[in-house]
Amino acid sequence: MASEFDLIRRHFIRPTHHSVLGVGDDCAIVAPRAGFELLVSTDMLVAGTHFFADTDPEGLGWKTAAVNISDIAAMGGEPRWITLALSLPAADEAWIAALAKGFADCCDAFGVDWIGGDTTRGPLNLCATVFGEAPAGAAIRRSGAQPGDEIWISGQPGLAALGLQSLLGRIVLADAAREACLTALHRPQPRVGLGLALRGIASAMLDVSDGLAGDLGHVLESSAVGALLEEDLLPLNALRAAGADAEQARHALFSGGDDYELVFAAPADKRTDVLVLAAALAIPLTRIGHIVSEPGIALATVGGTREPISARGYDHFPG
Amino acid sequence: MASEFDLIRRHFIRPTHHSVLGVGDDCAIVAPRAGFELLVSTDMLVAGTHFFADTDPEGLGWKTAAVNISDIAAMGGEPRWITLALSLPAADEAWIAALAKGFADCCDAFGVDWIGGDTTRGPLNLCATVFGEAPAGAAIRRSGAQPGDEIWISGQPGLAALGLQSLLGRIVLADAAREACLTALHRPQPRVGLGLALRGIASAMLDVSDGLAGDLGHVLESSAVGALLEEDLLPLNALRAAGADAEQARHALFSGGDDYELVFAAPADKRTDVLVLAAALAIPLTRIGHIVSEPGIALATVGGTREPISARGYDHFPG
C-alpha cells in the first residue's frame, strides 16, 4: 500500500495556473489581486449524511468541488482557489484516483486552482474550502432584497431531489428524465457565469442547496422582508413531466436541495436585463414572485387564495 | 433540541475585527492587504485518529485552531482569518459551546477572525482552514535550506508525545512534568511571534506536527540537502527529567508529534541573531546540527560514530 505522502503526491498535486505555491509546504501561497475582496466558503460532505458510502467516487469528487464553487457563484464572485481535506477509512488507491479526477475536473472546468489539502484516516468525510474574488463592494449578499424586487430562480430546481427519490425507490421517473435528474444530483453545475453576470442586477442572491423555501427564507431573513410567490409562475411542469405527482413536484421544488441553482431578487426595472441575460447565457431564469414587506413566504394560488409556505429547508439538527 | 441554524447563531457567530463580512452569507468576505500574499492551510482532526472521542471539547477547540494557526507561523505569516467545518454525531449543546469557546479563545489569542464554517451530522470531525498574510515573497518555505546552514528547534519538542504516552498508560511521568506534557498535548501554542521574527533570518522552516525526524525530512527533501545532527546538542534532558528513559526520550523527540514547535535552518552567520531573538522572545531556541549536501539525516553520537536516523515520521497510511 502506498504511503500517505505517496498518495498525495500521485493524485492530489496538480499544476496550478494562477498561484504562487501549490501543494507541498505548510501553506499554499496565492496573490489576491489589488482592488478585489476575497470570498471564502467551506463545505463538509459526510458519507451517510450527504451521499451514500458506495457512491461513484469520481462524481463525488466533482460534487465536492461543485457545491463549494457554487457558494462563490452565489455571491457573484470569480472562483479562484480551493483546498480539499479528506478523511478516509482506508487508502484504496483506485477510489482516491477517481475522487481526485472528479474534483480536479470540476476545478478545471471553472478555472479553479487546487492548491492544498490534508489526508487522514477516519470515517469518510470531505471538506473543501474555496476562495473567490470580486471587486471590492461588488459581491451580492443575501441582505439586499427590497420590497417590490422580483424573485427569480435559475435552471430547473427540483431535479436533483427527484433523482434522490428515484435512487431511494420512492418514485418512478420517465427514463429520459431519470438521467437528467441523476446528473443534477451527481454532477451539479455551479452557476458561475450567471453569478458574475448578475453583479449590478441582483439585489440579493444565494444558491439553493437545502430547498427553495428554506434558502429563500435565509434571503428574506437577512433582508428583513418577505416573499409572495405566484403558483402559476413556479417551474413545476418539468418536474411533473419527469414523473412526479403534484405533491412530489412541489416538495422537490420547495424542500429538495442539491440543485445549486441561484435564487435572486432584482428590482422590477431590471426585468429586461434579466431576460436578456437568460437568452445570452442560455440558462432558464424564471420569475416566481416578488419581495413584500411582510415577513415569511406566501403563495398566491391559481385559485386566488394565499397559503403560507414553511421556510424550513433541510436542517441537520432539527429542533 | 436547538436547530442547526440556532446552534450556529448561538455559538459560532463571533464578532470579527478585520473582516468585511463574517458568518451568515454564502461566503465570508475579507480584504487582503495590498502588497501581501495570502497563505492558506487546512487541517482535519478526526476522533479516534487525532484525539480521543471523549476528549475535553474546550481543549479540542483550542487545538483545532492552534494546529492550523501553526501552519501560518511555520511560514512566517501573520494569521488573519479562519473557518471551521465540523461534523457531529449529535447536537449536544454544552459540548458545542465548549468546543466553540476553545476555538474562539485560540483565535482571539492570535488575532484571528473566525469568519465562517459548516455544521453537519456525522462521525466527529473538525476541519479548519486558516489564512495568513505575508509581504509578497517573504514567506519562509521548506525549500531554502543550504549546506552549512545551522538547524534550530524551538521550545521543548517531545513533551506532547510524553503526555500522550502517559494518557495511554505507557509511561509514568513526574507529577510536575505530567501537567506540562498534557498542556503541550492539549493546548499547543503556535509560534506565531517567532515565525514572524524569523523572516529574513531562517532559510527554511516548518512546524513539527509528526515528529522532528519526519518533518525535518520534509525540509531536507524540499531543499535537496541532508542534515547532520549532534547528539550532545539534542534537547533530551527535559524529557529525561520528566520521567522518560533514554529510548523513550529519543523516540518522543524524533517521532512524537503534536508539539507544533518550529524547526528551521539559518545561515551560520545568523547565529547571533537567532540567540538574540531567543532572549527577546523568551523562547528556547536550540541549535541541533547543520545542513549537509548528502541526503538523509545522520546523527553524530557522543561516542564519535554516525548513525542514520529514519526520516519517517507519523504516516496515516504507511506503505
Q: What is the pTM of this model?
A: 0.90
Given a contact cutoff of 8 angstroms between Cβ atoms, the answer to whether A177 and A240 are in contact is no
Average the pLDDT over A235-240 and give the result.
94
A32/B38 touch (CB, cutoff 8 Å), yes or no: yes
> What are A213's three cell numbers?
423555501
What average pLDDT does range B162-184 have in this prediction?
92
Q: Which residues of A touch B71 (CB under 8 A)?
A: 26-27
Q: pLDDT value at position A75?
A: 96
> Which residues in chain A are contacts of B4 at CB distance < 8 A?
315-318
Vertex B278: Cα angle to B276 and B283 (nearest 5): 165
Q: Across the interface, do B75 and A26 touch by the CB < 8 Å criterion? A: yes
Q: What is the DSSP letter of B234?
A: S
Q: Residue B5 pLDDT > 50, yes or no?
A: yes
Q: Of A3, A32, A119, which is closest to B32 when you measure between CB atoms?
A: A32
Indicate the pLDDT class of residue A315, thresholds 50, 70 and 90. Answer: very low
Reported as a pLDDT band with limits 50, 70 and 90, residue A2 is low
Provide the pLDDT for residue A319.
38
Average model confidence (pLDDT) for chain B? 91
User: From CA A44, how far away is CA A40, in angstroms rounded?
Assistant: 14
pLDDT for A311 equals 59
- Rounded CA separation A162/A243 (Å): 9
Q: B120 and A44 in contact by Cβ < 8 A? A: yes
Q: Which residues pair with B230 in a beta bridge?
A: B300
Residue with cell 429542533: A319
Q: Which of A196-205, B27-36, B43-52 has the highest mean pLDDT?
A: A196-205
A71 closest CB neighbour out of B20, B21, B26: B26
**Among all residues of chain B, which has the CA nearest to that of A30?**
B38
pLDDT of residue A269: 97
- Taking the CA atoms of residue B42, residue B46, residue B50 and residue B54 in that order, the dihedral angle to the nearest 10 degrees is 140
Pick from A60, A62, A35: which is nearest to A48 by CA? A60
Asked whether residue A317 carries a pLDDT value surpassing 70, the answer given is no
Helix (H, G, I), strand (E, B) or coil at B254: helix
Which amino acid does the sequence have at B19? S
Is the pLDDT confidence value at B71 over 70? yes
For residues B62 and B101, give the distance between their C-alpha atoms in angstroms, rounded to a whole number: 8
pLDDT above 70 coverage of chain B, percent: 95
Closest to B41 (Cβ–Cβ): which among A1, A27, A143? A27
CA angle, residues B92, B96, B99, in degrees to nearest 5? 145
d(CA B213, CA B215): 6
pLDDT above 90 coverage of chain B, percent = 74
Q: Do B26 and A75 touch (CB under 8 A)?
A: yes
- Tell the burial category of A95 from Cβ atoms under 10 Å away from its Cβ (0-12, 13-18, 19+): middle
Residue A304, min C-alpha distance to chain B (Å): 34
**Contact criterion met (CB < 8 Å) for A42 and B77:** no
In the predicted model, is pLDDT for residue B293 greater than 90? yes
The distance of B116 to chain A (nearest Cα, Å) reads 7
Assign A4 a pLDDT band (cuts: 50, 70, 90): low
Give per-residue pLDDT as tens, B40-49.
999 999 988 7
Instruction: Return the HEC string of chain A.
Output: CCCHHHHHHHHHCCCCCCCCECCCCCCEEECCCCCEEEEEEEEEEEECCCECCCCCHHHHHHHHHHHHHHHHHCCCCEEEEEEEEEEECCCCHHHHHHHHHHHHHHHHHCCCEEEEEEEEECCCEEEEEEEEEEECCCCCCCCCCCCCCEEEEECCCCHHHHHHHHHCCCCCCCHHHHHHHHHHHHCCCCCHHHHHHCCCCCCEEEEECCCHHHHHHHHHHHHCCEEEEEHHHCCCHHHHHHCCCHHHHHHHHHHCCCCCEEEEEECHHHHHHHHHHHHHHCCCEEEEEEEECCCEEEEECCCCCEEEECCCCCCCCCC
Backbone angles phi, psi at B84, to 5 degrees: -135, 115
Residue B93's pLDDT band (boundaries 50, 70, 90)? confident
Reduced to 3 states (helix: H, G, I; strand: E, B; else coil), residue B62 is helix
Q: Report pLDDT digits (tens) over A261-287.
A: 999 999 999 999 999 999 999 999 999
Contact state of A32 with B26 under an 8 Å Cβ cutoff: no
pLDDT-based confidence at A316, cuts 50/70/90?
very low
Cα separation of A203 and A267, whole Å? 7
A31:B121 CB<8 A? no
For B51, the closest chain A residue by CA position comes to: A122
Closest CA to A98 of A195, A190, A193, A10: A10
Q: Is the pLDDT of residue A53 over 90?
A: no
Q: What is the mean pLDDT of residues B93-118?
A: 94
What pLDDT is recorded for position B316? 46
| Average pLDDT of span B236-246 | 93
Please report the pLDDT score of residue B315 as a whole number.
46
Q: What angle do CA A288, A292, A294 make, to 5 degrees?
A: 130
